[in-house]
Chains A and B, each alone.
Chain A
Amino acid sequence: MLSVLILLVAACGNGNNGAASSSASSSAPASSEAAGSPSASAASSAEASGTRNVKHALGDLPITGVPKKIVVLEWTYAEELLTLGVQPAGVADIENMKKWISTPTELSADVQDVGTRQEPNLETIAALEPDLIIGVKFRHEATYDQLNGIAPTLLFDPYPPEGQGDQYQEMLDTFHTIADVLGKQAEAEAMLADLQKTYDDGKAKLAAAGKEGRSIVLTMPWVDQNAVTFRISTDNALAIKNLEHLGLKNAFKPAQFEVYGYSTTGVEALQSVQDADYLHITAEDDVLPMLEKNPVWTGLNFVKDKRVYALGGDTWPYGGPYAAKLMAERAVNALTAAQ
Chain B
Amino acid sequence: MIKALVREPAPSPPRMEPALPARGGRGWLPFAMLAGGLLLLAVLAFVSLTQGLSHISVATAFDALIAPKDTPDHRVIHGVRLPRTAMALLSGTALAVSGALMQSVTRNPLASETTLGINAGAFLVVAVGTVFWPGLLHQYAFLFAVAGGAGAALLVFGMGGGRKGTPIRIALSGMIVTLVLSSVTSALLLLFEQSTQGLFLWGSGSLNQNDWSGVRFAWPWVAGGLAVVLLAVRHLDLLAFGEETAQSLGHRIAGTRTFAMGAGIVLACVSVSIVGPIGFIGLLAPHIVKLSGMTRHAWLLPLSAIWGAAILLGADTIARSFAASAVGELPAGAVTAFIGAPWIIWLALRVSKHAASSAGAESRASMQISLFAKRMPYPLLILAFAALLVLVSLAALMSGTLHLSAEQVVSTLLGNGTPLHEKVLIDLRLPRLLTAAVVGVALAASGSLMQSAVRNPLADPQIVGVSSGAGVGAMLLLIAFPALPPGWVPVGAFAGGLAAAAIVYAAAWRRGLSPTVLTLVGIAVAASGSALINILVVYAKLTLAPALAWLAGSTYARSWSELGQTLPFIALLLPLAWWLGRRVDLLSFHDESSTGLGLPVRRTRLLVALLAVLLASVAVAAVGAVGFIGLLAPHAARMLAGSNHRRMILLSSLIGAVLLVGADWIGRIVLSPKEIPSGIVVALIGAPYLVFLMFRSRAGR
Residues of A near any B CB (own CB < 8 A): 1-3, 6-7, 9-10, 12-14, 16-17, 20-21, 24, 96, 99-100, 112-124, 126-127, 129, 138-139, 141-143, 145-146, 149-150, 222-229, 255-256, 260, 264-269, 271-272, 286, 290-291, 293-296, 299
Contacts and interface: CB of A to CB of B under 8 A. Distances in A.
Contacts of A119: 549, 554, 556-557, 674-675
Contacts of B375: none
A2 B389 contact: yes
A100 B328 CA distance: 27
A297 to B, nearest CB: 8
A145 B487 CA distance: 12
B542 A260 contact: yes
B414 A9 contact: yes
Closest 6 CB pairs of A and B: A295-B79, A224-B198, A121-B673, A115-B673, A24-B419, A268-B53
A239 to B, nearest CB: 16
Given A9-B414, A121-B674, A295-B75, A146 B202 contact: no
Contacts of B429: 123
Contact of A271 (B76, B393, B424, B559): B76
Given A10-B413, A145-B561, A150-B423, 17 more contacts: A10-B430, A17-B415, A21-B419, A21-B423, A119-B674, A123-B428, A123-B429, A127-B402, A142-B486, A146-B428, A224-B206, A228-B210, A265-B53, A268-B76, A271-B53, A272-B53, A294-B79
Contact of A123 (B390, B402, B545): B402
A265 B320 CA distance: 12
Nearest to B81: A268
A215 B419 CA distance: 58
B622 interface: no
A272 to B, nearest CB: 8
A13 B672 contact: no
B428 A126 contact: yes
A299 B400 contact: no
Given A9-B414, A123-B428, A293-B213, A129 B274 contact: no
Interface string B202-236: 10001011110110000000000000000000000
Q: Which of A9, A100, A119 has the most CB of B within 10 A?
A: A119
Given A13-B414, A123-B402, A295-B75, A227 B542 contact: no
Contacts of A225: 198-199, 202, 206, 276
B437 interface: yes
Contacts of B545: 117-118, 139
B158 interface: no
B141 to A, nearest CB: 8
A124 B543 CA distance: 24
B357 interface: no
Contacts of B549: 118-119
28 contacts: A1-B386, A3-B434, A6-B430, A10-B413, A13-B426, A14-B426, A21-B422, A116-B674, A117-B545, A123-B401, A123-B668, A124-B401, A142-B546, A150-B427, A224-B201, A224-B202, A226-B208, A226-B209, A227-B208, A228-B210, A229-B208, A265-B53, A266-B80, A267-B80, A268-B52, A269-B53, A296-B76, A296-B79
B423 A227 contact: no
Contacts of B424: 123, 126-127
A199 to B, nearest CB: 29
Contacts of B423: 17, 21, 126, 149-150
Interface in B261-282: 274-276
Contact of A10 (B426, B541, B673): B426
Given A121-B673, A122-B557, A123-B428, A224 B546 contact: no
A226 B427 contact: no
B324 interface: yes
A309 to B, nearest CB: 22
B209 A114 contact: no
B549 to A, nearest CB: 6
B89 to A, nearest CB: 15
B420 interface: yes
A295 B422 contact: no
A228 to B, nearest CB: 6
A118 B412 CA distance: 30
B26 interface: no
B401 A268 contact: no
Contact of B400 (A117, A123, A139, A293): A123
A78 to B, nearest CB: 16
B193 A127 contact: no
Contacts of A114: 673
Given A127-B402, A142-B546, A286-B138, A227 B422 contact: no
Given A126-B423, A127-B420, A12 B274 contact: no
Nearest to B422: A17
B413 A222 contact: no
Contact of B198 (A13, A123, A138, A229): A229
Contacts of B419: 17, 20-21, 24
Interface in B172-213: 190-191, 193-194, 197-199, 201-202, 206, 208-211, 213
B66 interface: no
Q: Which of A223, A227, A290 has the most CB of B within 10 A?
A: A227
B493 to A, nearest CB: 14
B78 interface: yes
B54 interface: yes
B420 A3 contact: no
B673 A113 contact: yes
B672 A121 contact: yes
A121 B675 contact: yes
Given A126-B402, A227-B210, A13 B546 contact: no
B377 interface: no
A290 to B, nearest CB: 6
Nearest to B76: A296
B559 A12 contact: no
Contacts of A296: 72, 75-76, 79-80
Nearest to B387: A2
Contacts of A123: 400-402, 424, 428-429, 668
A150 B422 CA distance: 11
A83 B579 CA distance: 65
A2 B53 CA distance: 63
Contacts of A272: 53-54
A255 B53 CA distance: 11
B326 interface: yes
Contacts of B668: 123
Contacts of A256: 326
Contact of B80 (A7, A149, A268): A268
Nearest to A286: B138
Contacts of B430: 6, 10
B400 A2 contact: no
B80 A294 contact: yes
Contacts of B80: 266-268, 294-296
Contacts of B208: 224, 226-227, 229, 266
A7 B674 contact: no
B413 A13 contact: yes
Given A17-B415, A20-B419, A295-B78, A115 B210 contact: no
B453 to A, nearest CB: 27
Nearest to A222: B198
Contacts of B427: 17, 146, 149-150
Contacts of B276: 225
A124 B211 contact: no
Interface in B467-505: 486
Interface in B22-80: 52-54, 72, 75-76, 78-80
A229 B422 CA distance: 49
A283 to B, nearest CB: 8
A115 B211 contact: no
B75 A299 contact: yes
A271 to B, nearest CB: 5
Contact of B422 (A2, A20, A260, A267): A20
